[in-house]
Amino acid sequence: MNNVTIAIGSDHAGFELKQELCNYLTNKGYSMIDLGPNSADSVDYPDFAHKVASSVETGITQLGILICGSGNGVCITANKHHGVRAALAWAPELASLARQHNNANVICLPARFISQETAFEIADAYLGTTFEGGRHETRVNKIETE
């Protein structure tokens, strides 16, 4: 799945983890688009969550990764975008299930509650899993509102 392009963004709480994760995935051969921020200075998480979600929504990137302190703020924001299915994951198993059953195209990480190693494991699980389809596709198709 290294042929996908992944947008990544964070707020100040997730900045350091974003940098590490971006480097990790680039070294694994993924094409990464870092949509900010560019420092650990205080920022508003919706600004960067909207950038990543818009990138997925418009097809510029196939997948997105968002990071904030709890993961909740960026997840709520990303899910406001048409066609975006953002999921919060603090363990690799949750990331795998989000892809396999919910066809999540954005994964959200809680920087203040997971280690760098766990973040790498979550990213690997997320990117290494494909959507199962079948009975799950019927359910996923019911998510989007008019």
Which residues participate in catalysis according to the annotation?
A: 68, 101
Q: 93 and 114 in contact (C-beta within 8 Å)?
A: no
- Residue in the structure block whose two tokens are 């079948």: 134
Q: Which is nearest to 52 in space by CA: 89, 6, 83?
A: 6
Q: Which two tokens stand for residue 56?
A: 């997925």
Query: Hey, which bits of 38-143 come out as E strands?
Result: 63-68, 86-88, 106-110
